[in-house]
Structure 1
């Protein structure tokens, strides 16, 4: 038993000695500052872009169920962006030793990290739901309103919010925020005071497993499957739509539904591209224990987490540009907010 432990420790040290020189302290610090600055810009862009998405779809109206889903996605992405902005500011407070009336490193856990995880997974499952509800429409494009009703859409959105965001608030039960005296600052500050009970470790580990494994990979797999189905369906319907729909009204309805499916397909692809780095970051520690932040590769681990966080925020900030490019009605309504006329884009857009 002792021999195995020694060999394992020697192997860990050897791996660390090989990989760690890749990221020197200077490069690590530069990358951290780069990701912080870019992340701060992206979060601010995400806040404004999602506000514009919500306002635009509110002005368009919710006669189409897909507009309800898009608006819910905008609300979730807006919340993610706000919490990411707050988490970034707390990180800056820590780096600069800012004299703020709270402990940034602990306050961010309950006010940014876990609530942010909740809304990030809400975005993930809303993306999966939007992709999933379009799948039957690939087969039956003229029966969309009967397949996807407002009742089904609203009920599904409410259930998603309940199962993804609400559990994140359980962290307040075992990591409450209290006013405590700080000898270092010689003042009373707001800080997280963990409960010293077994319940704390149970809830903490359950939440980390729930958000870091169960929800993340379930949504990722669901979006992958639906994206493949949508890609195959778009390719197939492109070949047969002219033969099956001879009337102008039927062709118009089909083309409109195809544009919606293309928009959903782009949303799903963007989510997959931005979420895959996070999935890799979550999987690596299971195969390389040294990757954990408390081990020898903490620099690479920290940078990889910052990169995956930035990619997640990009996903929450990109939807506005997808809607503008793909949706003529959204584009026209969006431009009227600024008193401008609609842009002329190719007909296939």
Structure 2
């Protein structure tokens, strides 16, 4: 699992062991080497929980791959005459990439649990190919969600000028910039944690493993990436979505008042207003789902500020790892539920999606 792999990196730094020595053992064995670990969770319970969460990742990740492929195909059929369709399309691409990488990270930990003989070390390989890339795409998803909510807020606040404020070109450029700031920095991890072919004494053969650079640059980049993704992007996206969601809630209330007025004085634009309300409600559900799935991770990130032992390399390592894995599972669940929201709220999307299965 990616959280386990990240913790393995922490143990390499804490105990001062080489990669070929430490990453060839399981996370639980590394925990046992630390005498300061508090036995709140037994080793058996800890391994059972992490194994269960890893298989849950595989299920949720597979669901995310299937659902986001369907969203991409459906919006490709619907076209991109509206800017909101472009945003939904790129949101699905980001969620698809996150689901694929998270599933790979979970599979790596399953390999560790099963003790499968492979030509690479799963627990260390998943750090650079699983944990950091998935963080990049998850934060990209967060900011695209915030952008979609902001776009709808502008539609509510400036209905007569939104067509000039939010254009197709501006939408594409904005989302590309989000991808650049969300995903590209995660690739810096390949500089300080490159994958190399090394000899493993325990396996008596050469395997592909993560070999960290023993330089001050390694610690600087790693801490910068963790701070960037865990604090800066995580909480800024959360705050942005919260603010836009509040404005959307106000907008929904305002639209409800307009609806009552239209029942007394019907006009030719009633169908357009109903369509706009459905779009706002869809974006509102997307934002609420993101907030609900992101709160556990944000809370887990804040706990070490009050309890320093609540980290994967200190006394509450087992509890910390299980909480991190559950929180990451919730963020992955966010990438797997959008299809059901679109099917529930959009009749046109529903017809087009079902038509994919009908010749």
Shared fold, TM over 0.5: yes
Q: Contact between 1:141 and 1:257, CA under 8 Å: does it hold in 2?
A: no
How many angstroms does 1:220 deviate by?
0.3
How far apart in 1 are the matches of 2:52 and 2:257?
A: 47
Instruction: Verify: 1:306 aligned to 2:325, yes or no.
Output: yes
Which runs of structure 2 are paired with 1:245-256 in the superposition (5 Å)? Answer: 246=265, 248-256=267-275
How far apart in 2 are the matches of 1:142 and 1:85?
A: 44
How many angstroms does 1:292 deviate by?
1.2
How many angstroms does 1:163 deviate by?
0.5
Instruction: Verify: 1:337 aligned to 2:356, yes or no.
Output: yes
How far apart in 2 are the matches of 1:304 and 1:199?
A: 29
Aligned match of 2:10: none
Deviations 1:207-262 (A, max 9, x none): 01000100000000000111111011101221134537956432222111111110
How far apart in 2 are the matches of 1:98 and 1:294?
A: 26
Instruction: Verify: 1:30 aligned to 2:48, yes or no.
Output: yes
* CA RMSD, Structure 1 to Structure 2 (Å): 1.8
Cα–Cα, structure 1 residues 180 and 26, in superposed 2: closer, same or farther, change >3 Å? closer
Which structure carries more relative contact order (alpha carbon 8 Å, separation 6+)? 2
Q: Secondary structure at the match of 2:203?
A: coil
Q: Contact between 2:55 and 2:110, CA under 8 Å: does it hold in 1?
A: no
Q: Secondary structure at the match of 2:298?
A: helix
How far apart in 2 are the matches of 1:207 and 1:28?
A: 28
Q: Secondary structure at the match of 1:98?
A: coil
Alignment TM-score, normalising by the size of structure 2 = 0.86
Instruction: Verify: 1:60 aligned to 2:43, yes or no.
Output: no
Aligned match of 1:226: 244
Aligned match of 1:100: 118
Aligned match of 1:158: 176
Instruction: Verify: 1:198 aligned to 2:216, yes or no.
Output: yes
* Structure 2, unpaired ranges of 5+: 1-36
Which runs of at least 4 in structure 1 moved beyond 6 Å after TM superposition?
Answer: none
How far apart in 1 are the matches of 2:304 and 2:260?
A: 51
How far apart in 1 are the matches of 2:169 and 2:259?
A: 29
How many angstroms does 1:142 deviate by?
5.2
How many angstroms does 1:200 deviate by?
1.2
How many angstroms does 1:145 deviate by?
2.7
How far apart in 2 are the matches of 1:242 and 1:145?
A: 26
Q: Given the alignment, which residue of 126, 143, 161 partners 1:125?
A: 143
Instruction: Verify: 1:85 aligned to 2:103, yes or no.
Output: yes
How many angstroms does 1:141 deviate by?
3.7
Aligned match of 1:4: none
How far apart in 2 are the matches of 1:258 and 1:88?
A: 39
* Structure 1, unpaired ranges of 5+: 1-15, 341-349
How many angstroms does 1:94 deviate by?
1.3
Instruction: Verify: 1:323 aligned to 2:328, yes or no.
Output: no
How many angstroms does 1:32 deviate by?
2.0
How many angstroms does 1:28 deviate by?
2.6
Deviations 1:115-134 (A, max 9, x none): 11100100010001100111
Aligned match of 2:3: none
How far apart in 2 are the matches of 1:249 and 1:150?
A: 27
Cα–Cα, structure 1 residues 160 and 239, in superposed 2: closer, same or farther, change >3 Å? same
How many angstroms does 1:279 deviate by?
0.2
Alignment TM-score, normalising by the size of structure 1 = 0.89
Aligned match of 2:22: none
The number of aligned residues is: 323
Q: Contact between 1:141 and 1:254, CA under 8 Å: does it hold in 2?
A: no
Aligned match of 2:24: none
Cα–Cα, structure 1 residues 244 and 142, in superposed 2: closer, same or farther, change >3 Å? farther
